[in-house]
Amino acid sequence: MTETPVLSVRDLTVEIPTRHGILRPVDQVSYDIRAGEILGVVGESGAGKSMTGNAVIGLLDPPARITGGEVLLKGEPIHDIPRARLRRLRGKHMGMIFQDPLTSLNPLLTIGDQLTETITEHLNVGQDEARKRAIAALDEVGIPAASARIGSYPHEFSGGMRQRVVIALALCAEPELVIADEPTTALDVSVQAQIVALLKRLCRERGVAVMLVTHDMGVIAEAADRVAVMYAGRLAELGPVREVITNAHHPYTAGLMASTPLASVGQKRLKQIPGAMPRLGALPDGCAFHPRCEYAQDKCRRDPGPSLQACDGRAACWFPLGTTQKEDTVA
């Protein structure tokens, strides 16, 4: 019997009504994340990465709302449940780590108070046990002298240490799913690597499913097991990270790879993708990537880009790289 994924996102669509029409920042996105797995969600700014994460955890800012598809947490639909119930689920079953640790931490409370409050709210334990668990959680994420630092306020920590505290806070109620949205972007490069290593270790040790949202292919290569590449609200490519970074099938993924310095795949020269991602309100006809795609053919300019499901489940492209299809052989 196959194990139910911790998170299943099925044809998820988010729309924003505007004066100029309806925008679709998330367009029929589907993927699963299993226990102990890190799914990296990558793409340029505006691709719809954060919107997908926010839709999953029920934190979309109106007027953005889910208009199609479903979100399943351990097989249970959570995309249309009342807000109050979702708030409880968020604390207990889903942890969140955002780019700026200060948005997740209350500056007026000690980190010990914030951890014990979360632990007593979601786990059935008293104050003393909660305090013990808070110290253990800080210890686990590498805060030195955790039992002494528990009385410190967020501003008394460095940026990297603060992000460790946020990770402890996200994990202390023992959630099955963690959404980490650009968790390393605000940190120095050396600290970034430590935080990525920490997330990876905790994911493995605790069997947590992690959605790691980032614009940085380097972070994906380092941390993720599988990668979902987003472009203009849609999935461009989905697959095991090693396969995708060494043998991208979607020209957009190949472009991201060529513009990222990755020691692990040893590319020599960096090359930027020409142009910029189109605004949602001004998507071109055909495949949204075709104006930037060096392989675009007439079909790509004419027909909307295919969905991943309509292709082989790997790359949403009429002419995926590494295959020998010619235009006249494609329906």
Ligand X SMILES: Nc1ncnc2c1ncn2[C@@H]1O[C@H](COP(=O)(O)OP(=O)(O)OP(=O)(O)O)[C@@H](O)[C@H]1O
Binding mask 186-225 for ligand X (x = CB under 6 A): -----------------------------x----------
Provide long-range contacts, Cβ within 8 A and 24+ apart, for 278-286: 278/232, 279/46, 280/23, 280/24, 280/25, 280/46, 280/232, 280/233, 281/18, 281/20, 281/21, 281/23, 283/232
Listed ranges 43-51, 65-73, 83-91, 221-229: which one lies at the site for ligand X (CB under 6 A): 43-51
Shorter beta-carbon distance to ligand X: residue 48 or 183: 48
Q: Among residues 7, 12, 42, 47, which is the contact residue for ligand X, using CB under 6 A?
A: 47
Query: What is the Cα–Cα distance from 86 to 77, expressed in whole angstroms?
Result: 11
* Strand positions, DSSP E, the chain: 7-18, 21-33, 38-42, 65-73, 76-77, 94-97, 177-181, 209-214, 226-231, 234-240
Q: Among residues 7, 8, 15, 25, which is the contact residue for ligand X, using CB under 6 A?
A: 25
- Residues 227 and 42: beta-carbon distance below 8 Å: yes
| Minimum gap (Å) between residue 173 Cβ and ligand X | 25
12 binds ligand X (CB under 6 A): no
| Minimum gap (Å) between residue 268 Cβ and ligand X | 28
| Minimum gap (Å) between residue 9 Cβ and ligand X | 14
Residues sharing a CB contact under 8 Å with residue 307, sequence separation 6 or more, in sequence order: 28, 234, 235, 316
Q: Among residues 7, 12, 33, 46, which is the contact residue for ligand X, using CB under 6 A?
A: 46
* Token pair recorded at residue 165: 């505290």
Q: How many CB atoms lie within 10 A of CB 136?
A: 14
Binding mask 272-301 for ligand X (x = CB under 6 A): --------x---------------------
Which DSSP symbol is given to 144? Answer: T
101 binds ligand X (CB under 6 A): no
| Minimum gap (Å) between residue 205 Cβ and ligand X | 28
* Token pair recorded at residue 107: 């500056």
124 binds ligand X (CB under 6 A): no
Listed ranges 42-50, 69-77, 103-111, 201-209: which one lies at the site for ligand X (CB under 6 A): 42-50
49 binds ligand X (CB under 6 A): yes
260 binds ligand X (CB under 6 A): no
256 binds ligand X (CB under 6 A): no
Query: What is the Cα–Cα distance from 92 to 175, expressed in whole angstroms?
Result: 6
Summarize as ranges the residues that interact with ligand X (CB under 6 A): 16, 18, 23, 25, 43, 45-51, 64, 215, 280
